[in-house]
């Protein structure tokens, strides 16, 4: 089925509506005029917590898509759940934005295949700031050259399930590809004991967990006699929620073809 295009108000179905991100997205929509909550999905044990929302609710995306047309699904759940949403979106020709992190390679491959059937955007970080940073990191890595060792630190709240964070992996991939490396071959996520000298072809990505930290990412370039540090700190989840809604609006005008990313959304704000 062909995906449909949208007018000025974008209808949104939130999947993971009772989660931290889901609730943030719903509250942003309530406070603005550009989006309308058209449906809410969460697991059956959480349905009573979302039953009072002013829209149809269900424990799976397909059930809502049977009732609601022309809405963009926004899914912040867990890897298997997001893949289930993506299959339902492909079956119904619905557009889908996914923010879930921790997807493995087979899941990313399946998502890319489903994106050939319906417009899908996936980004492990919906923040505009992080996505601009992603564009500039390779320039820094190239300009500084191989004498500068690249390392990263990420800090998140204690309930986060995956490590390193999806954002750290995105930033790490940008650094690795600037040197012509493949991140899984050069990533080091812990050092302990007599580890010897640091190899030049290595990127350390260390994860700290605690409290309610929303997200801190720092990239270091350690060179001869100097260190360059560049990073991003999210003060609240609102910047991810804003980015997800911006992505949904952008996607509502796109056709299927390939898996889109937040980089595509910010394309026109960057210098050519």
Q: Which residues bind ligand NAD (CB under 6 A)?
A: 15-16, 18-22, 41-43, 46, 76-78, 81, 84, 99-102, 123-126, 240
Q: Based on CB atoms, which residue is closest to ligand NAD, 35 or 76?
A: 76
Q: Are 175 and 249 in contact (CB under 8 A)?
A: no
Q: How far is it, in rounded angstroms, from Cα 254 to Cα 167? A: 24
Active-site residue, from 156, 217, 232, 256: 156
46 tagged catalytic: no
Q: How far is it, in rounded angstroms, from Cα 78 to Cα 260? A: 19
Q: Is 198 helix (H, G, I), strand (E, B) or coil?
A: coil
* Residue 70 C-beta: closest distance to ligand NAD, Å: 21
* Residue 102 C-beta: closest distance to ligand NAD, Å: 6
* Residue 127 C-beta: closest distance to ligand NAD, Å: 6
Give the C-alpha distances (Å, rounded to integers) separating 153 from 98, 134, 197, 209: 24, 15, 20, 11
Token pair, residue 38, equals 């058209």
Active-site residue, from 6, 46, 108, 160: 160
Q: Based on CB atoms, which residue is closest to ligand NAD, 85 or 252?
A: 85
**Cis peptide leading into residue 260 (ω within 30°):** no
**Element holding 212 (H helix, E strand):** none
* Residue 253 C-beta: closest distance to ligand NAD, Å: 21
156 tagged catalytic: yes
Residue 74: phi and psi, rounded to 5, are: -125, 115
Q: Based on CB atoms, which residue is closest to ligand NAD, 61 or 140?
A: 61
Q: Are 222 and 148 in contact (CB under 8 A)?
A: yes
C-beta nearest to ligand NAD: residue = 19
Q: Based on CB atoms, which residue is closest to ligand NAD, 43 or 107?
A: 43
Q: Helical H runs in 31-114?
A: 47-50, 61-65, 79-92, 105-114
Known catalytic residues are 156, 160
């Amino acid at each position: 089925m062909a995906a449909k295009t949208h007018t000025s108000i974008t209808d949104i179905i939130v999947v993971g509506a009772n989660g931290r991100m889901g609730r943030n997205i719903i509250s942003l929509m309530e406070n603005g005029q550009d989006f309308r909550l058209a449906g809410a999905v969460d697991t059956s044990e959480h349905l009573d917590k979302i039953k009072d929302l002013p829209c149809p609710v269900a424990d799976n995306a397909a059930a809502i898509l049977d009732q609601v047309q022309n809405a963009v699904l926004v899914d912040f759940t867990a890897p298997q759940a997001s893949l289930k949403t993506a299959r339902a979106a492909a079956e119904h020709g619905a557009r889908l934005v996914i923010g879930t992190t921790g997807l493995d390679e087979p899941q990313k491959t399946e998502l890319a295949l489903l994106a050939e059937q319906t417009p899908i955007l996936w980004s492990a970080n919906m923040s505009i700031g992080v996505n601009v940073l992603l564009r500039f990191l390779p320039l820094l890595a190239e300009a500084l050259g191989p004498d500068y060792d690249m390392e990263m630190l990420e800090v998140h709240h204690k309930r986060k399930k995956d490590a390193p964070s999806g954002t750290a992996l995105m930033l790490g991939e940008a650094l690795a590809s600037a040197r012509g490396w493949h991140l899984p071959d050069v990533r080091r996520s812990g050092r302990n004991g007599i580890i010897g000298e640091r190899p030049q072809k290595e990127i350390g990505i260390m994860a700290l967990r605690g409290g309610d930290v929303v997200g801190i990412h720092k990239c270091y370039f350690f060179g001869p006699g100097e260190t360059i540090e560049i990073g991003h700190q999210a003060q609240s989840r609102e910047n991810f929620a804003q980015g997800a809604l911006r992505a949904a609006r952008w996607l509502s005008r796109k056709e299927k073809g390939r898996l889109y990313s937040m980089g595509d959304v910010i394309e026109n704000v960057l210098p050519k």
